[in-house]
């Protein structure tokens, strides 16, 4: 990106971060006094800040990104009060992603050229793909990641995204670490382990960064950028792989049954946290759900306590507790030999219709020697 554009956008990023942190500090102080400050009050505070001599520099950039960051802060507090997220944290100049969001009143898009408000000219953009014909972006987000790469994201309605033709195909999907996905058809998709492939390079770059003096030295910035680029490479490969898998599953199946895993709790296991994070199960589910909504497919999540691995998919007998190192087992009742993961995928597929009809998870029960019912609990798979 040209130096002038980079400087103008960096100035906007700095103002956005400053406003976010000021608003968060004001709301935190009010929270300590048992008071609540909403978006309208922080918007009034922004107007007052711009009139002061100390913060007059906020008026050097478009006011729209500043207002948008206040809306993002309001959304963060809404999620916090709904217990969906932690308390909002202050943005860091070094660690936080730098971004600015422009609504339709704060940018001009003509003939494939994008000009944000208070910019000297159109941005020099290398388009990854053209916008759908006849569409006009409603929101533009300009950002820069830790690796120094610039991105422009345009939000618009795509008339080419229409529901696919209905089909009777359905599939159960069991996620794991040895194999990323196991389908009820018997197909197993290997786990690429993107982070493990670059672990040596990443460790070397992190050791180099650790030896640098703290602060804003040139060598320190270069070392941080090298680490960020390796992380970006890992993230990009992982995202690309998941996009291809989820698109394929959505195109081939009308109904996709998965397990409702609590990844947030599972990564608390120190032995598995790194492998689970690299597998990105939550990102896989998120992609699957929004693509299914786009194309008229259905994703069904079966209760996480459903004993999919221990339940015989042939006769329905529930086996005793099964160690994670047991990958194949034989049913004591019908004598069927199961692959643990394929059996789990088949059980998920069978349980899916009941979940869809009842709107709740499915928990088959077994009888204990004492006559009381008990439920087998699903445990995370160990990385081999």
CA dist list (Å): 31 to 26, 39, 253: 9, 14, 49
Per-residue pLDDT, 372: 38
- Dihedrals phi, psi of 96, to nearest 5 degrees: -80, 150
Given 5, 259, 278, 310, the catalytic residue: 259
Rounded distance between C-alpha atoms, residue 373 and residue 314, angstroms: 22
Per-residue pLDDT, 368: 35
Rounded distance between C-alpha atoms, residue 305 and residue 68, angstroms: 41
Rounded distance between C-alpha atoms, residue 315 and residue 350, angstroms: 12
- Dihedrals phi, psi of 44, to nearest 5 degrees: -65, -35
Rounded distance between C-alpha atoms, residue 42 and residue 33, angstroms: 16
Q: What is the pTM of this model?
A: 0.81
Given 101, 278, 341, 383, the catalytic residue: 341
Per-residue pLDDT, 361: 44
Neighbours of 198 (CB within 10 A): 16
Per-residue pLDDT, 247: 95
Given 101, 174, 310, 383, the catalytic residue: 174
341 in catalytic set: yes
Task: Pick left, alpha or beta for residue 134 (phi over 0 → left; psi -120 to 50 → alpha; otherwise beta).
Answer: left
* Residues in a beta bridge with 140: 102, 154
What the block records as the tokens of 147 is: 């690796």
Per-residue pLDDT, 360: 47
Residue with tokens 């003509």: 110
What the block records as the tokens of 38 is: 């909403």
Sequential DSSP letters for 160-228:
T--PPPP---EEEEEE-SSEEEEETTS-EEE---HHHHTHHHHHHHHHHHHTSPSSS-HHHHHHHHHHH
Rounded distance between C-alpha atoms, residue 245 and residue 256, angstroms: 13
Spell out the per-residue pLDDT of the chain, length 384, in tens. Answer: 778 889 999 999 999 999 999 999 999 999 899 888 899 999 999 999 999 999 999 999 999 999 999 999 999 999 999 998 999 999 998 888 899 999 999 999 988 899 999 988 899 889 888 888 888 899 999 999 989 899 999 999 888 888 999 999 999 999 999 899 999 999 999 999 999 999 999 999 999 999 998 877 889 889 999 999 999 999 999 999 999 999 999 999 999 999 988 888 888 888 889 999 999 999 999 999 999 999 999 999 998 888 888 888 888 888 877 777 888 888 888 888 888 889 889 989 988 877 665 554 444 433 333 333 333 333 333 333
- Dihedrals phi, psi of 266, to nearest 5 degrees: -70, -35
Structural domains of the chain, ranges and CATH numbers in brackets: 3-155 (no CATH), 164-190+235-384 (3.30.420)
With 0-12 / 13-18 / 19 or more C-beta atoms within 10 angstroms meaning exposed / middle / buried, residue 70 is buried
What the block records as the tokens of 29 is: 């102080």
187 in catalytic set: no
């Amino acid at each position: 990106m040209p130096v002038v554009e980079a400087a103008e956008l960096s100035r906007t990023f700095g103002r956005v971060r400053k406003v976010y942190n000021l608003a968060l500090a004001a709301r935190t102080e009010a929270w300590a006094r048992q008071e609540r400050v909403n978006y309208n009050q922080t918007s009034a505070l922004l107007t007052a800040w711009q009139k002061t001599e100390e913060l007059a520099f906020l008026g050097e950039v478009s006011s729209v990104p500043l207002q948008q960051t206040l809306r993002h802060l309001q959304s963060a507090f809404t999620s916090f009060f709904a217990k969906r997220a932690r308390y909002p944290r202050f943005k860091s100049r070094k660690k936080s992603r730098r971004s600015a969001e422009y609504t339709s009143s704060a940018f001009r898009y003509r003939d494939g050229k994008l000009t944000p408000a208070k910019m000297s000219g159109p941005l020099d953009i290398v388009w990854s793909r053209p916008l759908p014909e006849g569409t006009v972006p409603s929101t533009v987000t300009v950002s820069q990641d830790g690796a120094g790469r610039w991105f422009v994201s345009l939000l618009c309605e795509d008339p080419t995204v229409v529901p696919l033709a209905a089909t009777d195909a359905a599939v159960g999907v069991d996620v794991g670490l040895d194999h990323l996905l196991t389908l009820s058809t018997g197909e197993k998709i290997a786990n690429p382990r993107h982070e493990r492939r670059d672990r040596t390079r990443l460790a070397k770059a992190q050791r180099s960064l650790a030896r640098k003096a703290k602060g804003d030295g040139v060598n320190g910035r270069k070392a941080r950028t090298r680490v960020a680029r390796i992380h970006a490479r890992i993230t990009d490969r992982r995202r690309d792989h998941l996009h291809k898998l989820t698109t394929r599953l959505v195109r081939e199946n009308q109904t996709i049954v998965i397990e409702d895993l609590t990844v947030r709790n599972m990564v608390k296991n120190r032995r598995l946290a790194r492998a689970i994070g690299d597998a990105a199960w939550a990102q896989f589910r998120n992609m699957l759900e929004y693509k299914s909504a786009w194309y008229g497919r259905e994703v069904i999540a079966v209760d996480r306590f459903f004993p999919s691995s221990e339940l015989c998919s042939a006769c329905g007998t529930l086996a005793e507790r099964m160690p994670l190192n047991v990958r194949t087992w034989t049913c004591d009742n019908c004598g069927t030999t199961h692959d643990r993961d394929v059996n789990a995928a088949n059980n998920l597929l069978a349980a899916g219709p009941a979940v869809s009809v009842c709107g709740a998870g499915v928990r088959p029960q077994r009888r204990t020697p004492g006559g009381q019912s008990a439920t087998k609990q699903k445990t995370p798979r160990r990385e081999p």
